[in-house]
Amino acid sequence: MGAPKQKWTAEEEAALKAGVLKHGTGKWRTILMDPDFSAVLSLRSNVDLKDKWRNINVTAIWGSRQKAKLALKRSPLTPKHEENGKALSVVVQSNEEVVDAKPLAMASGTPRNGGPKDLLARLDGSTQMILAVCSS
């Protein structure tokens, strides 16, 4: 059909990483419309960016230090926690190896439609976002 399974090139992946550094995670459409990346990623959709970023992080976590995660899958019992009004607590991964750009983007203080003002302000102590662009 029209989808011959288009593998990601190094340039595309680099552009994606740079775009996440610049705009933060979740801003796939924004990255796509950024003139700096629109050329390289012209063949990709915003969903593609999201999926690729997911794959990158999955592999990165596995290479790091978190392997006991799939073991908790496929539980014969019902892992279904359907609460009505109760909020389920979600544990956030500890710092270190997990590449999490979300706090970066949201750390600017504006919860709603903020701007990537001081994106790099937080990028010092933890320093987990290195990677960024293998070299461009």
Out of 77, 89, 91, 112, the only residue in the binding site for DNA (CB under 7 A) is: 112
Show contacts with its own copies in window 25-44 (CB under 8 A). Answer: 42-43
Residue 41 contacts residue 16 (beta carbons within 8 Å): yes
What is the number of other CB atoms lying within 10 angstroms of the CB of residue 50?
Answer: 15
Note whether 90 binds its own copies by CB under 8 A. Answer: yes
Q: How far apart are the first and last CA of the chain?
A: 34
Residue 17, interface with DNA (CB under 7 A)? no
Instruction: Measure CA 56 to chain center.
Output: 8
Under the binding rule (CB under 7 A), the answer on residue 81 touching DNA is no
CB of 124 to DNA, least distance (A): 21
